[in-house]
Structure 1
Amino acid sequence: MPNPLTRHAINGMVARYNDPHYDRWAAQIRHTGGCTQPVHLRGKVEYRDPLNGALLHRYTTANEPGGVLRVACKTRRASRCPSCAETYRADTYQLIRAGLVGGKGVPAEVAEHPAVFLTLTAPSFGAVHSLCMKNGQVLRCRPRRKGGTCPHGRPVACNERHSADDPRLGEPICPDCYDHTGSVLFNALAPELWRRFTIRLRRVLARNCGLSVKELGQVLKVSFAKVAEYQRRGVVHFHAIVRLDGPDGPATLPPGWATLDGLAEAITEAARHVTVATPEAAELPSLTLAWGRELDIRPITANGDLTEQAVAGYVAKYATKAAECVGTLDRRVRPTDDLDQLDIRPQLGD
C-alpha cells in the first residue's frame, strides 16, 4: 500500500505542474538557486516620486504563486541548506584568496606582505576520548601503564582504538571529572579573549620595534580574517589569517622590519599572556581563562607548504560548519522544545 505521505507529495507535484502560474513558480525556485528552505515574503512595495508623490511603480506578492515571493535563505550552515552554504563557501574562498594574492579591488602587491595562518585552541577541561594516529596507524585512545581510577571510581585509561565515526569521540573519560562549566564559559568568552589577543598583539609589535601603539598605527596595520571551529569535545578554537600591511591597508607595503619571524614571535607572546576573567556568581568563583598550549603559526607563501589557495579553502570550509558536528543542534533551543525528542547527544539532554 502506498505511503500516504508519498501519495500526498505526488498529488501536490501534479497539481503544481498543472497550475497556470507554474512558470512563475519555477522561475522563483530557479532564482533561489536550489535553496532547501526559501523564505516566503508577503507584502507590497510602492515607489513614489519624492517631489510630487506620484506613484511610479507598485509591486505586490498577491500576484505571485501562493501569494508569496520566495527568496533564498542565504544561511552559511551546510546542515540547514547545502545550496546556500555552498554559495557562501565559494564567495568566502574568493574573498580570502583576494586578500592574499590580490583581486576584487585588492592590489596584487598584497602577496608580498607577511601573512600567517594561525590556530588558537582551547585549554584542556579534562580527558576525552580521542582518535590518535601515528604514521597512518590508529593508536590506543588513552593508554596508562599503571591504570588506576579517578576520584569517581572510573578508569583513567582507555585502550580502545577509536574509529573516525565513533560516537564516543570527544566524550569525557569521566563526565564527573570533566570541567563542563569551564568549557561553557570558555565558549562564551572566546570572542573577548580574541579581542584582547588582537590588542595585545599590536602592543607587542609596537614594543618590539620601539614605537608606541599610536606611532605603530602610522606605519603599520595588522589585518585579520578569523573563523571559529567546534572541536569534537564541544569547545571552539579559532583559525585566523594575520597579515601585516602599510598604514593605508593592502595598497601600501609594511615597513622593512615587519617580517614573518617578527610577526610569529609577537603572536606567540600575545597568545601566551592574554587572559580573561569570568564574572563571579553566587556559587562560582571567578575563573581565569586563556588559550590552550597548542599554538600553530604557519607562514602563507605562494610556493611553500601552505599556499594561499589552501588557506582560502580551509577558511571557507570552516565558515560553513556549525556546532552540529559535535552532536548539538544547528539552531537555538526553544522553550517549547522537548529535549528528549531532539537529535542530540544523550548526555546533553540529561
Structure 2
Amino acid sequence: MRQLSEVDQDLIRLVQDPRFTRWIEQITATGGCAHPIHLTGSTTTRETLTGEVLHHYDTRDEPGERLLIRCRNRRQTVCAPCSRLHAGDTFHLVRAGLLGGKTVPTDVRERPRLFLTLTAPSFGPVHRLTTDGQRCRPRREGGECDHGRRLGCPAVHEADDPLTGQPLCPDCYDYPAHVLWHAHAGRLWKAFTDNLYNHLAGRVGRTRTGLRRSLRISYAKVAEYQKRAAVHVHAVVRLDGARGPDDSPPAWATADVLTAVVRTAAAAVRLRTPFSAALGEHELRWGAELDARPLRAFGDGEGLADDAVAAYVAKYVTKGATDTGAGLDHQITNPADITAAPVSAHVRALMRTCWRLGGLPELEPLRLRAWAHTLGYRGHILTKSHAYSTTYTALRAERADHQSRGTQPADEADVLTDAHWRYVGSGHTPAAALLAAGIAEDLARNREIAQEEIAYNGVMSGD
C-alpha cells in the first residue's frame, strides 16, 4: 500500500474538518492570498446609549479559532493575488492624479503634465541590448583595458542574452560609485525637485519664495532596475497652483516650459558623498539620458495617454528585485547569503560591495548591509508628493467600506465598536497552499472573463 505524502495527509485533514466549508470561504475572501496573516480575537458593536449588542464576532467560531486576512505584499513573486490588488490600487492612485477622481478635481487633466525618465550615470561600459542586427560595442581599433580585456564587443545581444547589462570588464567597473549612487537616490530626487522650483523661478524672474505663492510641483514616481542593475526613475510631474490640485497654475506654466526646465534642473544636480579614507569623495549626478514626454487625457494629440502611463506604473510596482534579476526580495544576513544568491556575477559583486562598504564607520548611516539585497537602493518602489492624489490607505478604506456595506448598522454615529485582535501566525500548510493557489487562479480567470464581457458589450453597443 502506497504511503500518503505529507500534502495528501494534510489535504485529508482539511477536508475532514467540519469547518472546511467556512475555511474555503475565508481563503476566497482573501482572494487566495499565498501568505495570509492569522489573527485571533473578537469585535463587538454596541448601541452607545443603551449598550445593546448589535453585532458580535469571535474567532472561536472559526476553523482553527483564527481569522485569515491578506498579507498585502506587493511583490508578484511573493503573493500574486495581493500583488494584483496592489497593482489595481496603484493604477487608481496614479490615474487620479492625471484625470481626477478620488477627491482630486477633474480639471487636473488640463494642467501641464509630463512623464519623465531619469537615469543613473555610467559606472563603466556594459554589454548592451542590440536591435536590428546592430553590434553591442563595435570598436574599429580594438584594444584592451588595463586588465587585458577587450574594450569593445562585436556581438549581437538578444533580450534573453545573459551578457546584457554585464560589465565588459568587472575590474574596471566602479562598483562603489554604483552602490553609493543607489544609497543617495532619494537625495538626488530631492535635489532635482528643488532645482525645478529654482529654475522655474529664474525663468520667470521671481524668487523661489515668490514662485511658491503661485505654483506647486506634484509628482508620483516609480523606481525600475535596468539590465545593468542601476535604478531608473519614472515620474509623472504635474504643475498646480499654490493650493495644489484645487488650484490652477499661472498661465505661463506650460508643458513646454516644464520640459525645458526639467532638463536644466536635472543637469545641475551635484551631490558629494562624505569623505572616506577608503573611497575618497564621490560626486553624484543624474545620467545624461533624460526623457520627458507630455501627457494627454483624450483624443489623438501628441503625447502619451494617461491610462497607459497609469497601467505601466501599476504593472511595475508588483515586480520585486528577483523579477528583474537585480537583487533579492529578502534581506541578506551574512556574506554566505550573497554567495548562494541566484543572481548574476555583476549583481553579486554589487551585493558584496554593499557588504564591504557597510562595514566602514563613515558609511554606517547609509545602512548598506541592511539594503544589500536591493544593491544599496533604500527608497520605496513608488512614492508621491502629498498633493498629487489619494493614498493607498484611503483606497483600502474605500474598498473595505464597500465590502462591508449592508453588514454595519445604519447609523454608525450611535454605535461603539470594541475590538481585540492578536497576531498568531501566517502562511499556509502544504495542502492549504495548493487549494489557495487554485482559488486564486479561479478568481483571476473570472475577472478576465468579466472584463472580456464588458469589452464585448461596449463594442456591441458602440461605446
Asked if these proteins are the same fold (TM beyond 0.5), I'd say yes
Aligned to 2:377: none
Greater helix proportion: 2
1:336–1:204 CA distance, 2 compared to 1 (3 A): closer
Aligned to 2:104: 106
> Aligned equivalents of 1:341 and 1:187: distance in 2?
23
Stretch moving more, 245-254 or 142-151? 245-254
> Aligned equivalents of 1:50 and 1:319: distance in 2?
43
Aligned to 2:41: 44
Spell out, residue by residue over 1:1-25, the C-alpha distance to the aligned partner (whole angstroms, 9 max, x if none): 98x8x82212222221221111221
Give the superposition deviation at 1:28: 1.5
1:327–1:96 CA distance, 2 compared to 1 (3 A): closer
1:139–1:267 CA distance, 2 compared to 1 (3 A): same
> Aligned equivalents of 1:92 and 1:48: distance in 2?
33
> Aligned equivalents of 2:69 and 2:164: distance in 1?
38
Aligned to 1:7: 5
Aligned to 2:197: 202
Partner letter of residue 31 of structure 1?
Answer: A
Q: Is the 8 A contact 2:130 2:158 kept in 1?
A: no
Aligned to 1:252: 247
Q: Is the 8 A contact 1:229 1:322 kept in 2?
A: no
Aligned to 1:118: 116
Give the superposition deviation at 1:47: 5.6
> Aligned equivalents of 2:148 and 2:219: distance in 1?
46
Give the superposition deviation at 1:91: 1.5
> Aligned equivalents of 2:163 and 2:67: distance in 1?
44
1:78–1:138 CA distance, 2 compared to 1 (3 A): farther
> Aligned equivalents of 1:213 and 1:132: distance in 2?
44
1:269–1:16 CA distance, 2 compared to 1 (3 A): same
> Aligned equivalents of 2:127 and 2:47: distance in 1?
66
Stretch moving more, 209-218 or 184-193? 209-218
Unaligned runs of 5+ in 1: none
Aligned to 2:268: 273
Partner letter of residue 92 of structure 2?
Answer: Q
TM-score (norm 2): 0.69
Partner letter of residue 18 of structure 2?
Answer: P
Partner letter of residue 126 of structure 1?
Answer: G
Spell out, residue by residue over 1:235-290, the C-alpha distance to the aligned partner (whole angstroms, 9 max, x if none): 11100011011122222221110011111111111100012111222311111100
- 1:184 maps onto 2:183 in alignment: no
Report the 3-state secondary structure (helix = DSSP H, G, I; strand = E; otherwise coil) of the residue aligned with 2:187.
helix
1:150–1:109 CA distance, 2 compared to 1 (3 A): same
1:173–1:309 CA distance, 2 compared to 1 (3 A): same
Aligned to 1:317: 315
With a CA cutoff of 8 Å and minimum separation of 6, indicate the structure with the bigger relative contact order: 2
Aligned to 2:214: 219
Superposed, which structure 2 residues align to 1:277-316 within 5 Å?
277-302=272-297, 303=300, 304-316=302-314
> How many correspondences in the alignment?
343
Q: Is the 8 A contact 2:42 2:59 kept in 1?
A: no
> Aligned equivalents of 1:122 and 1:294: distance in 2?
8
> Aligned equivalents of 1:55 and 1:153: distance in 2?
84
Q: Once the two structures are aligned, what percentage of the paired residues are identical?
A: 44
Give the superposition deviation at 1:323: 2.0
1:337–1:49 CA distance, 2 compared to 1 (3 A): farther
> Aligned equivalents of 2:205 and 2:42: distance in 1?
59
Residue of 129, 132, 150 corresponding to 1:131: 129
> Aligned equivalents of 2:255 and 2:36: distance in 1?
45
Aligned to 1:345: 344
> Aligned equivalents of 2:83 and 2:196: distance in 1?
32
Q: Is the 8 A contact 2:216 2:240 kept in 1?
A: yes
Q: Is the 8 A contact 1:230 1:322 kept in 2?
A: no
Report the 3-state secondary structure (helix = DSSP H, G, I; strand = E; otherwise coil) of the residue aligned with 2:331.
coil
Q: Is the 8 A contact 1:24 1:65 kept in 2?
A: yes
- 1:329 maps onto 2:324 in alignment: no
> Aligned equivalents of 2:223 and 2:99: distance in 1?
23
Aligned to 1:16: 14
Aligned to 2:156: 161
Partner letter of residue 20 of structure 1?
Answer: P
Partner letter of residue 286 of structure 1?
Answer: E
Spell out, residue by residue over 1:139-162, the C-alpha distance to the aligned partner (whole angstroms, 9 max, x if none): 221111111111000111212211
Consecutive aligned runs of 4 or more in structure 1 exceeding 6 Å deviation: 48-52, 54-58
Give the superposition deviation at 1:318: 2.2
Q: Is the 8 A contact 1:47 1:55 kept in 2?
A: no
Partner letter of residue 341 of structure 1?
Answer: A
Residue of 78, 81, 96 corresponding to 2:79: 81
> Aligned equivalents of 1:39 and 1:99: distance in 2?
32
TM-score (norm 1): 0.90
Give the superposition deviation at 1:307: 0.9
Aligned to 2:228: 233
> Aligned equivalents of 2:124 and 2:338: distance in 1?
25
Across the aligned residues of Structure 1 and Structure 2, the Cα RMSD in angstroms comes to: 2.5
Q: Is the 8 A contact 1:131 1:138 kept in 2?
A: no
1:39–1:273 CA distance, 2 compared to 1 (3 A): same
Partner letter of residue 19 of structure 2?
Answer: H
1:254–1:179 CA distance, 2 compared to 1 (3 A): same
1:283–1:339 CA distance, 2 compared to 1 (3 A): closer
Partner letter of residue 33 of structure 2?
Answer: C
